[in-house]
Amino acid sequence: MEPTQFLEAQFEPDLVAQIKANSSPKTFKANDVIMDIGLPVQFMPIILKGAIKILQEDDEGEELLLYFLEKGETCAMTLQCCLGNAKSQIRAIAEVDTDVLMVPVKFMDEWAAKYSSWRKFVFESYHERFVEMMQAIDSIAFQNLDDRLSNYLLEKRKLHENDIVQITHQEIAYDLHSSRVVVSRLLKKLENRGDIKLHRNSIDLSNL
């Protein structure tokens, strides 16, 4: 299937042509840093394949996982950067091997004025990310780590399209803002329940 097929499904033919003519396809390997905090935002990525992890950094330099972006989605932070300050507030890391269309930000204004489907796309992106961030806040404030870990693992399995996820307890701890020992404890609990199987550097999620 054409990776850009979803463009035709939601944008005017005219706009699809504009997008194709003015954006460059780019490929990232898993764990590549696509955008970093403080860097100028020159492109808006539209994801064709794969997934991107978006995170913030707190005052101590600790990372905070905001959300994952998937196929057909774009980063609302980029949109915001087009309106005012051009520096990125976030770090974006390829979660798996990922293909994106890099759209130069200079087209944002023009397309928003000209194409209603683009305005809709931008608004909906904002809305989706807003909802995701609300959920991220909610889960940190009110959910126990137990549930957050389970949700995190389910998300991983979906994004990687694989029951066996390559990850260390330490990396999970960073993403969930917890410590390695605590994550190990909770993972062991899940294993004893038969939900997962633990290995060095990987976790088998086929029974989760």
Residues at the site binding DNA, with contacts judged by CB under 7 A: 144-146, 168-170, 177-182, 184, 186-188, 198-202
Q: Are the C-beta atoms of residues 96 and 31 closer than 8 Å to each other?
A: no
What are the Cα distances from residue 199, in Å, to 148, 164, 192, 205?
21, 10, 14, 11
Which amino acid, 61? G
Residue 178: CB minimum distance to DNA, A:
4
Cα 22–Cα 23–Cα 25 angle in degrees, nearest 5: 145
Burial of 202 (0-12, 13-18, 19+ CB in 10 A): middle
Residue 172: CB minimum distance to DNA, A:
8
Q: Which is nearer to DNA, 63 or 70 (CB)?
A: 63
Q: Which is nearer to DNA, 22 or 184 (CB)?
A: 184
Residue 98: CB minimum distance to DNA, A:
23
Residue 154: CB minimum distance to DNA, A:
18
Q: Which is nearer to DNA, 71 or 177 (CB)?
A: 177
CB-CB neighbours of 48 under 10 Å: 20
Q: Which is nearer to DNA, 56 or 168 (CB)?
A: 168
Question: Distance between CA 25 and CA 28 in Å, rounded?
Answer: 10
Tokens 């539209």 -> residue:
46
Q: Which is nearer to DNA, 54 or 186 (CB)?
A: 186
Residue 204: CB minimum distance to DNA, A:
12
Question: Distance between CA 208 and CA 194 in Å, rounded?
Answer: 8
